[in-house]
Structures are given as C-alpha cells and as structure tokens.
Chains A and B, each alone.
Chain A
Amino acid sequence: MATSVQRTSQLTMADLKGRVDPDWCPGCGDFGVLAAIQKALVELRIPNHNVVAISGIGCSSNLPGFINTYGMHTLHGRALAVATGLKLANHDLTVLVTGGDGDGFGIGGNHFLHTMRRNVDLLYIVMDNQIYGLTTGQTSPTSRIGMKTKSMPFGNIEAPVNPILLALAAGATFVARGFSGDQKHLTDLIKQGIEHKGFSFLDVFSPCVTYNHDNTYQWYRPRLKKLEDDPAYDATDWPAAMEKSLLWGEEIPIGRFFERTDVPALHAAEPVLNEGPLVDCDPRVPPDEARSFIEELM
C-alpha cells in the first residue's frame, strides 16, 4: 500500500514508542506484532505523522495507543470502514488497521468482505489468537472444533473461518500469514504489505497465553512452514494459493500466499481524486458548475 509515500531520513524505534506501555498480559503474542510494525516503519522510513493506525475493540485493538503514529481506536468491528473513509479523504496517508479475530471475522465480518473487494489501499493486520481475550475467554470465529471455552464449555461445534481462504475468495490483492514468534519474517511481511498498492491482508498467529491453551507458541513452532522456503511456490498463482490455504494440522504454511499488482486501488480508480487528496481540495464548488446545477432544475 503506497501512493506518493514520503520517506524520512531518520526514524528510530524510540520515535515510534507510544505515550504508554502496552497493557497486554506478559507473554502475549501482540508484543511481537507491535515490535514488528515499529521495525517495518523504521526500515521503510515513513514519517510517523503520515501513518495512521486504526483499530476496533479488543486486546489487540489497543495497539494504536502503544505506537507513536496518528491513531484511531474506533468501535468493535468497524475499523476497516473508518479506515476506508480516512484513506479516501487523504490517500497520502499510510493506513494500518490492526485488530483481533473476533473484531475482524466476527462482528466486523461484513466490512472485512467489502473492504477486500474494494481493494482499499491499506494493510490489515489481524492478531489471530483464536479466542476472545478482553471478554475473558469465549469462542472466536477462528476457534477450532472441539476447543473448550467459557462460552462453549463442552467444546466448540462450529467450523472455524479460514481467513486466508476467505481473503483469497473475496479478492484481496495481497494475502499473507505471519507468526508473532518469528520477528524477522513478520517484519518482512509487514513491509511487503505496506508497500503493496491495494488491500493487504496479514493474518498473524498471536498466541493468547491466558485463555488459549490449545494454540500455544509450542504448538505452532513445529507445524509452521514458510512458503518462502519452497522455491517452487509461486505467489502470483491464485489456485495454488487457494490450495495452500487449506493446509492445517501437522503442516501450517506461513508467508506470502498471494499477491497481484494489476488491480488499481480504490482511490486510484476514482477520477475525483486525480487532483490530489480531498483534504487538500478547495471546498467550494466551482461557480460555473454551481450555476449548471441550478439551471438543470429550471
């Protein structure tokens, strides 16, 4: 995601430190995601006043408060809708949307679907821990069948959402999966997602050490296989990406599943924005146009 992105010569991790420290539980996967976002911004040298981090509600959605960029901590499930409006009003901004699996795939499912098909130029990072954390441990849309939670004490009987498959089917132009426990790999995926011109979806396994005792760091590590380690894998091959997205169990792929660069981002497809960001435009309707609007009624 990038239009006329400005670069700064100096941006450090310290510059990106938020006004307060994260209040996540010790060991929470979200620490790793925050650090990777900060590293990616430092490496890309994007001035922090041109970055907006937008979130919904949930543990992971507290992230904008912990990073020194512009931020919006919005409503549960609505971050993508807010981000779409913001990006269309000022497409020079670099927009990061961060949230959890409940926020994005549950209450915000409708916006997730439509933001993807619109190819809004932003990076959407879901810190996927397969559980509701802030509400103290209920089943989420990505909880596995059989998982016992406070809301399904005898085990979940509903099939989980496959976010990668869903994103591919909905027309996302960049689809990737990362792991909070692999900083270098995750940072690289975030950089790619920011640079991609269009909607970038990054699902991140971000273990909840308090409420999810099934999908732990230890559970993930032996299973995760990087797509980048397979020289034969072609991330421009959509059917291959669909097939890979179905893998789950002993082998779970992470990395960039899919990217296409031939679809214009929403703001680039709209001629109204040819003159530059709306926020910089003269608010007045040109007088001859105003006259014509009235004359057509006479």
Chain B
Amino acid sequence: MKQTFAIAIGGAAGQGVATPGDIFAKIFSRRGLSLNAYNAYQSIIRGGHTLLTIRTGPEPVTNMGDRIDLLIPLNQDTMDRHLKLLGSGASCIYNAETIKPGVAADGVQLCPLPVSELADITRNKVAQNTLAIGAGLHMMGIGFPALEEVLREQFKKKGETVVAENVGVARAGYDYAAAHFKAFPNPLPKTEKRYAVLSGNIAMAMGGAAAGVKFYCAYPMSPSTGVLHWMAAHARKAGIMVRQVEDEIGVINMAIGAAHAGVRSMCATSGGGFALMSEGLGMSAMIETPVVVIDCQRAGPSTGVPTKTEQGDLWQMLGAAFGDYPRVIAAPLDIADCFKLIPEMFNLVDRFQCPGLVLCDLLLSEGRLGVDPKDLDFSPVIDRGELITGVNGNGAGSAVIATNGGYKRYQITESGISPRAVPGVPGHIHTVATDEHMEDGVLISDEFTNPIKRRAMMEKRMRKVAGIEAAVRPPKLRGPRDAEITLIGWGSTKGVIEEACEILNEEGISANQLQIRWLVPLHGEAILELLSNARHTIIVENNYSGQFARYLRSETSFAPDGHIRKYDGEPFMPHHIVEAVKEQLGGKTKLSVPVHEIMV
C-alpha cells in the first residue's frame, strides 16, 4: 500500500472550509507531495454541510482514498457526522469550547483546542480554523516556516497587521499541539518534485488556451462554471474573446459562428445546458464547422443534484441531435488529462470538420490534483486541417487561389474532408446551409431534392468516421494480462479503479484494468480482442443503468460478468470496488451498488 495521508475539513458553507484546504494544498505541493482534493458540498451559499478531503503522499495520489487520518470539524454537525469514520491512529482537532466530541473508536486521538485561551476570538472570527491548521501541521511533522510562508501570501493584501496576527494564531496552535497532542508516527515526507495544483475546469480552460482557442462562451452552470471563470480572468493575457451568453442555445450558436470565421472555438456546460445545445451540434456537423463542447456531468435527471457527480450523460452525448453525423466523444481520465485532451480534440475536429464533445464530470471538474507542470504543455501540436484562410490567418497558411466559381465547399472526396475556406477569403465565396446541399453549397432540400445527391453527401460526411477512428489509438489493458479480474471503466474513474486493482493484487486477487478515454470512436474490435481472454470482467461506472455497459454491448455484443455502479452523487472510493469484486467473485451477485458511508 502506498503511503498517503488524508485530511478532512468540514463545516457549513461560509464557515471558511476552503481556506484551510488551500493552505494545506499549497504546503503539501511545495513539499513535493502529490495531492488529490475532493469537496463534497451542497447547492447553498451559506449553511448546509461541506466536507473537503485532501489526500497527499510522495507517490501519485489519484483519488480520495478510503481513510481519513485527520478530521477538522469546524462545527458540531461535522463532528456528529464524521467522527465515527475515524479508525485507530487517526486524530480529530476541534474547538473545545463550541464542539462536543461524542464517542470515538479505540485508538482515535481527540485533540481539543482551548480556542479563546490561544487567540483573541473577538478580533479573529476564524481563529479556530487557523489554530487547527497550526496544530495539524505540527502533528504531520512539518516545520512552521512552511505555514508562515503560505499565510504571508494569503493575507499579504490585507496588510502586515493581519499577516502578523494570523501567523501568531497559527503559531499558538502549532505550539499547543507540540505540548499536548501526539504527532502522527510518520512525518509527511519531502520530495524534489514540483506540482501545480489545479481543478479539471482550470485544466480544460488552460488546455483550450494551449490549443489556440480564441473564442470561448458559456452560460453559468455548475459544475462547468470554473471553465468560464478561468477563461474570463485570463482572457486578455491569453488573447481570448470570452462572452457570457443569454442561454446555452445562444452559446453553441455563437461558438459555431466564431468557429466559422476561422478561429478555434469552445464552450462548456453541464447536462441541462447540453440538452439545449443539441440542435446546434447538428448544425456544426451539417455545415462542417468544427466546435468543441465540454459537458461537466452532474447527477441528473433534470436539475438533479447540481453539486454531485455522475457519469449519466453518455447516452445524451451519443444521441445528441437528430440524424446521423460524425462526432468525436472523449472522457478525460484525470485532471492532467483534462488539459491534454483539449488540444488533441481540437486537432481531430479541425481535421474532420465536425463537433467534438468532452465528457467530463464534477469529480474532475471541481476536484483538484497536483500535476507535474511539464504536463501543462502550452506548445502542443496545432493541426488546423484543410483550412483556407486569408494571408494572416492562423491556419495552415494555405495560399489564396483566385478561383471564384470553381471552389466547392463540400467537394466530394475520398476522405470525406473538403477544404474549408473562411469568409473574407477572395475567390471562395459560398453559402453554408443546415439544409442538405450540393457540393457547391446550393440547397437540395427545397426545390432541387435529389436522392442521388443526398446519398452522396451523407456518404461523404460519414466517410469521415473511418478517418477519425484511424486517427485515434485504441485503448490498452493495464496490469497482468492473465489477471483473475478485469475492471472496465471510462473517464474519471481511472484513478480509483487503478488503486482498487493495486489493493486486489496486494490481497492476492490479480486484477487488471481497461480504462476507456475515446468513447467515439470506440474501437470495438480492439476492445473485443483485449477482452477475449479475460477471465472475469466487471464494468465500473458512476450511474444507475450502466450506460457504458449498454453502449459497449450495442457496439460489440460484449456483455461483462458483472457490474459495479454508484448513483448516490458521490464518487467511488477504492474499498467500494475491492469489496464489490470480492462479493462478485464469491458468486453473491452480478450487480454491486456500494453504499457511500460518508454522509455529505
């Protein structure tokens, strides 16, 4: 088992859960530790219950893990909900004056802080939080200067008095812990690695900037709004036009308009907004103007649970808009991949002139991960495909050819790809239409309906499907080839399945993993080949009906031996998968639905 350490900080929204989280995250990442943060919260601005889990360690930490080592409840509610989760060796730091601990398991250290003795609580309303950070840090075996440095940065804008006061309070907590609490047996290590800590939303926004996105628009919708916030804050430095639009119908149409003018154009939303964009995707495919749409899935249907995660939009993606048309759909595997995927997606949709859909989810969008800065590559390959722009256009720099009349926007080609001229280029005037059209763009939907031409245009567009499949690599099996168990997942479950496999292997049950990133093209044949020798296959997904299992079956006729599904709004924890695998190997069931033990 890898060495990790997890802190959970809980309280009501507005009580300041985020700040200690940010401070710990900075301290850990600057020590060269990997970290994963997940915030379980509610759709409320003040009140309710929020639980932020930060798990860190010297090796890559990919998920929230199974255990909490340090609980910091900022109110009674948090103590009541979560003290029982702590096992032997864990500690709980709390304000002794406002919170009663309740009964803890054997071996749990209760660490009450006499807050008003240690700090002036009339001056500093979040003194209990700062004291707890100081105390916790001492118990993790980290020197005080690391905290002082972060506090200085945090409060710099408020002036030296505020900095000094907070450093003083933190120090009091640190010293109090030294005198009164038992430190954790293994101090948190230090490594030479460096990490950038970011959310999936920030990663996708930055990935867009790196891909050369020049136009981004959105309507605010949780959990996708973080993409808009990063884009808006960095628009001027990155040279990106960012607009907030009246609704998602406007968003997709505005994004396509900008793309049609010749720039890379992107938008993000969640399931409800995506539903409104559906007709626009059909337009992107029909006029062959590429656009990238991000869907940050949340628990549905309808308004659903806006602050909770799910992988429930797959079939909406597969079926978005009427008619048959080429599309690309990919689900990023982790937060670093949220960055990397965007330039790849743009290269594909530019080459194949069709919509590209990124199927993210709340877990990645709003979770945070320590990422190697080298993985945030701002010089990725940019392939604009067969684009004809003006002299200064940011495309392939194709020469302007004066062939007015001869240019056919929808020229029938073997690849299905027709060279795309953007408005403003002399000699290439044409009209694009959402109606079916001929090679020159003239409609065949009204006066000139013609089954031969309709068939030819359908086949031209759909020929791109084969090209897209050839341009994307098939998935790979990770782990021992002859494993007893093959766990199949897609997108954001990569990290947790990986860790479940490690645990199973350590416990003597050999397990391997097939994680799907490209949903369309799926590479069904390659998947069948990979699974042909699998001994016991289980599909793991964060939804009720097994959306991926049904899709895989529809494309390949493959049916797994079992399923592990979760649709309570919370992500999988490694033990959920491990226990379900054992349950299924024991022949008890073919469908496991793990119970989420943390009440959030």
Contact = CB atoms under 8 A, between A and B. Distances in A.
A270 B242 CA distance: 10
Given A48-B429, A287-B378, A70 B423 contact: yes
Contact of B250 (A64, A111, A281): A111
Contact of A23 (B194, B246, B393, B446): B446
Given A82-B257, A284-B212, A297-B198, A88 B243 contact: yes
Interface stretch (A28-36, A73-81, A166-174, A224-232): A73-81
Nearest to B260: A86
Given A85-B215, A287-B378, A273 B241 contact: yes
A292 interface: yes
Interface stretch (B136-144, B184-192, B435-443, B511-519): B435-443
B382 interface: yes
Interface string B28-51: 011000000000000000000000
Interface in B253-281: 253-265, 279-280
Interface stretch (B82-90, B99-107, B159-167, B202-210): B202-210
B261 A74 contact: no
Most buried by A among B236, B250, B435: B250
A197 to B, nearest CB: 19
A131 to B, nearest CB: 19
A85 B217 contact: yes
A60 interface: no
A68 B429 contact: yes
A288 B257 CA distance: 30
Interface stretch (A89-97, A157-165, A239-247, A250-258): A89-97
Contacts of A74: 253, 256, 283, 287, 434
A18 B379 CA distance: 43
A82 B237 CA distance: 25
Interface string A254-294: 00000000000000001111010011111111110110111
B431 A284 contact: no
Contacts of B389: 279
User: What is the interface residue range for chain B against chain A?
Assistant: 35 or more
A93 B215 CA distance: 17
Contacts of B263: 89, 278-279, 283
B393 A279 contact: yes
A110 B242 CA distance: 20
Interface in B542-594: none
B23 interface: no
User: What is the interface residue range for chain A against chain B?
Assistant: 35 or more
A36 B258 CA distance: 28
A107 to B, nearest CB: 10
B306 to A, nearest CB: 23
A20 B468 CA distance: 34
B238 A78 contact: no
Contact of A272 (B210, B235, B432, B442): B235
Interface string A54-82: 10010000101100111111110010011
A151 interface: no
B313 to A, nearest CB: 22
Given A47-B426, A65-B431, A285-B210, A93 B261 contact: yes
Given A49-B427, A284-B212, A81 B245 contact: yes
Contact of A73 (B30, B202, B434): B434
Contact of A65 (B215, B243, B249, B442): B442
Contacts of B255: 85
A279 B393 CA distance: 6
Contacts of A279: 214, 261-263, 389-390, 393-394, 422, 424
A82 B256 contact: yes
A189 interface: no
Given A85-B215, A85-B255, A272-B241, A297 B393 contact: no
B401 interface: no
B77 interface: no
A298 B29 contact: yes
Interface string B311-338: 0000000000000000000000000000
What are the nearest 8 A-B pairs in CB distance? A85-B257, A283-B212, A71-B431, A89-B261, A81-B253, A290-B378, A85-B258, A82-B257
Interface of A: 18-20, 23, 47-50, 52-54, 57, 62, 64-65, 68-75, 78, 81-90, 92-93, 110-111, 113-114, 270-273, 275, 278-287, 289-290, 292-294, 297-298
